Copies of this chain bind each other. A is one copy, B any other.
Amino acid sequence: MTTEMPPTDFDLDHFLPYRLDRLADRVSEALAQLYETHYGLNVAQWRVLAWLHHRHELTAKQIRAATRMDKARVSRAVQVLEGRGLIVRRPSPRDQRLHDLRLTETGQALMVELVPQVRAWEAELVAPLTTEEYHRLLDMMARLERQLRDDAR
């Protein structure tokens, strides 16, 4: 019962995947407060709106690529958002399989209200970092992502 076995012991506090997951989870949870409680959006719906706000017009496929969500998940989020009148969906004139998605006036208004709050919240989150650190952080994260992509193949 004392200390019989530290054979391959590894310290989870210095294990990047664990730390990353914990942080992402906490950040996500805190951010969700903003759009969930006040606007009744779940994560998937928020992501769709954020991308449409960012890019103006996208198809489900493009959103799927950007958010790494399953296509069914995107599809369902879109249905709800359309039902709530926050986005419109119309078949692309070029290809009837594709549906161009856009924010409606209402959806746009919602985002115009929500985005500044989200930004302010993020600013507070990253307040402990200097601007340079923040850039380095994003840069390191980009390199890690690239490494994953390269590993994969």
Chain A interface residues (CB < 8 Å from chain B): 1, 3, 5, 7-12, 14-28, 30-31, 50-51, 53-54, 56-57, 66, 68, 108, 111-112, 115-116, 118-119, 122, 124-129, 133-134, 136-138, 140-141, 143-148, 151-152
Beta-carbon contact of B23 and A27 below 8 Å: no
Chain B, residue nearest A32 (CB):
B17
Copies of the polypeptide in the assembly: 2
Q: In the assembled complex, how far is the CB of residue A25 from the closest CB belonging to chain B, in whole angstroms?
A: 6
Are B12 and A138 in touch, CB under 8 angstroms?
Answer: no
Q: Are A54 and B10 in contact (CB under 8 A)?
A: yes
Contact of A23 among B31, B127, B141 (CB under 8 A): B141
